[in-house]
A and B are shown apart, each in its own frame.
Chain A
Amino acid sequence: MIAANKNLQFTKIQELVYELKVAEVMTKNLITVAPDTRMSELRGILRDNRISGTPVVDGDRMVGIVSVEDFITWLIRGGVDCPVGQVMSRKVRTLFADEPLVHAVSKLEEHGYGRLPVLDRSKNTLLGLITKGDIIEGLLQELQIDYHEEEIHRYRASHFFEDMIADKITINFHYHIHGKKIEQGGEVASDLKRSLKRLGIHPDIVRRAAIATYEAEMNVIIYAEEGRVDVNVEPDVILIEVRDRGQGIADVARAVEPGYSTAPDWVRELGFGAGMGLQNIKNCARDFDITSTVGRGTTLKISIPTGTKEKRCA
């Protein structure tokens, strides 16, 4: 398990060193010196900027590089003040800004360099400097971005309730169905679906809640015109209650029978009122309960467990 993880991490970094370009991780705010900068000034420049080497630039052309090693060699040879141009290394290996990071890694490794100047491929001008530190920082930043995205994703995917501390948690979504035209049917279900998705509830459970709510919403619009939908989301169950003050259902037992419908013709022509709605709701729910009084209205209560996929919604 640990080995597999290590392997995965390794692969990710490998992927990144091929993906990232030298330009993305190099240091751009360059400290440079001129060939005629005095060696006596160099120590101060390196110390003040906390760097161990710097490119030597003549106009916009890089002519060499001077490092702490060069400085020490100069000291051993007597330390007689002279221009940097006489001490610097002239044979400088360079990188182009558009090369993948892996080239920088291998060049630094191969020659034991601490830094490599980065040039623009077309103009050959100095753009920046890359060190092992820059590479490590660039990789860490990229991994950090990945990790952050992963974290957000995971959070959305399942940890919403786990992060809440309470003896009982209930999130309530309330919707009003008020004098809607039949063409507007489905808006409550659609809003609820989006909200449940945001909570990170399993797509299959969200689908069930949306289907059940859609059917109940259409029933209210067709038979009652006005009603309310209350959805209580708890860590392991979604409770949906749809209440209206419509005409009521005379025979609830028959209403639940597949194919039984009292819908008027115009509703049937639109493809509603086929006697399937309550059956659909029942199939999506664990607990299903209708209470109705003729002339007073109807209340539908269902529950959908969020943890399991025990029953297919169809």
Chain B
Amino acid sequence: MRLSEIAQTLTLKVRSAAGHLDTDVLGGYASDLMSDVMANAEEGYLWVTLQTHANIVAVAAMKELAGIILINGREPEKETAEKAEEKNIPILVSRLPAFELIGRLYDLGIPGLRADAEES
């Protein structure tokens, strides 16, 4: 599913790189720890977090993520939005808390990491 469709369906507000919403979202990962995202998120994944500082852009760019969704109506810091614009990383904002937002992403068919993880 394309990021633009997700943004429209879940009424997310776009805060940066509005011209880069045409990418296919391959999955989702939620975490507020940078090292955790560095270790576990996958290329083309959407990252759900409450962190708003500029490092999230560096991490997303390094991992080539599809975009970042900030939860609880949090807004990116000015520097974060600027850096995201420069690095073409879409940052979207949701008013929902993480649990509710991720539930809706799941309903849209966005998978998490390794669907069989719970079985092993």
Closest Cβ–Cβ distance, residue B36 to chain A (whole Å) = 6
* Interface pair B33/A271, CB less than 8 Å apart: yes
Evaluate whether A183 and B39 lie within 8 angstroms (CB atoms) in the complex, with A190-B61, A271-B34 already known: no
B94 within 8 A of A: no
Interface core residue of A182, A185, A271 (most chain B CB under 10 Å): A271
* Interface pair A274/B36, CB less than 8 Å apart: yes
Residue on A nearest B57 in the bound complex, by CB = A186
**Contact partner of B34 among A193, A210, A272, A283, CB < 8 A?**
A272
Please indicate the chain A residues that have their CB under 8 angstroms from the CB of B61 in the complex: 186, 190
A135 within 8 A of B: no
Bound Cα distance from A231 to B1, whole angstroms:
38
* Interface pair A270/B55, CB less than 8 Å apart: yes
* Interface pair B38/A211, CB less than 8 Å apart: yes
Please indicate the chain B residues that have their CB under 8 angstroms from the CB of A185 in the complex: 55, 58
Contact flags (1/0) for B38-72 with A, using CB distance below 8 Å?
A: 11100000000101011100110110000000000
**Contact partner of B62 among A183, A184, A214, A276, CB < 8 A?**
A214
**Contact partner of B32 among A184, A218, A271, A277, CB < 8 A?**
A271
**Contact partner of B55 among A215, A271, A283, CB < 8 A?**
A271
Please indicate the chain B residues that have their CB under 8 angstroms from the CB of A272 in the complex: 33-35, 55
* Interface pair B35/A274, CB less than 8 Å apart: yes
Please indicate the chain A residues that have their CB under 8 angstroms from the CB of B53 in the complex: 182-183, 270
* Interface pair A186/B55, CB less than 8 Å apart: yes
Evaluate whether A214 and B36 lie within 8 angstroms (CB atoms) in the complex, with A185-B58, A186-B58, A270-B53 already known: no
A166 within 8 A of B: no
* Interface pair B36/A276, CB less than 8 Å apart: yes
Bound Cα distance from A272 to B33, whole angstroms:
6
A189 within 8 A of B: yes
B100 within 8 A of A: no
Instruction: List CB contacts (< 8 Å) of A207-235 with chain B.
Output: 210-211, 214-215, 218
Bound Cα distance from A187 to B59, whole angstroms:
10
B22 within 8 A of A: no
Residue on A nearest B35 in the bound complex, by CB = A276
A314 within 8 A of B: yes
Bound Cα distance from A162 to B62, whole angstroms:
28
A-contacting residues of B (Cβ < 8 Å)? 32-36, 38-40, 49, 51, 53-55, 58-59, 61-62, 79
Given contacts A190-B61, A272-B34, 11 further A-B contacts (CB under 8 A): A214-B58, A214-B59, A215-B38, A271-B32, A271-B49, A271-B51, A274-B35, A276-B33, A277-B35, A280-B35, A314-B40
